[in-house]
Amino acid sequence: MALIFGNVPELEVVLEAANGVDYERKVAEVGHVDLVLVDRYMKERDGFETIRWIGRHHPRTKCIFFSFQTDPCINRRAMRVGARAVLNKTCDYTELIRAIHSVVKNDFYYNEEVTKAMRLSWENEALQEERDLEGIVAAMTVREKEFILHYARLPFPTMKQMEDKLGLKYNGTEDLRRRVVERTGCNSRELMIDFLMKTGLK
């Protein structure tokens, strides 16, 4: 990273970390960091959890979220945990520098990724307002609640791991997932996470 920004005099790389846990250790030695480029995929404390940790412990630090795989749900989740910009790793150098300057100066960087995420957020909020969330929760079976509580909470399990948790074979687990999707309208893990947050289901 230091090599990438070596020709930009107004930028100084003060630390590089392998993952969120490594960042926590190193930032304790460095002190305040103005801006952090956060990779989504890290073995210890992924990008989402790292941004959330930075927001809690270093609220003046601004974060840019990076991922090879971006879609409106992923981008919206990154923004929800505190990212000030969302960039695909295939973006060119010019956009990266533009995003950094915008976040430092204006606290945010708007691009196509962010616009799509915001549009999805508005659409989902409109749909949620039309639904009786309490009624949906009341109508859910014990098994359906058990599924979403496991599936939409850290550490996010695979469907194979869900089979073990629920004591079901693949077909049974998949049928249960489909019933939860039909019941709640949440057809992705990200939407199920939102559902848990809004309903307070425990």
**Topology (CATH level 3) of domain 20-120:** Rossmann fold (3.40.50)
Instruction: List the domain boundaries for the chain.
Output: 20-120, 131-199
Pick out the chain residues at pLDDT < 70.
1-9, 117, 120-131
The architecture CATH gives domain 131-199: Orthogonal Bundle (1.10)
Place of tokens 């079976």: 141
Per-residue model confidence (pLDDT) at position 8: 64
Per-residue model confidence (pLDDT) at position 12: 81
Per-residue model confidence (pLDDT) at position 21: 92
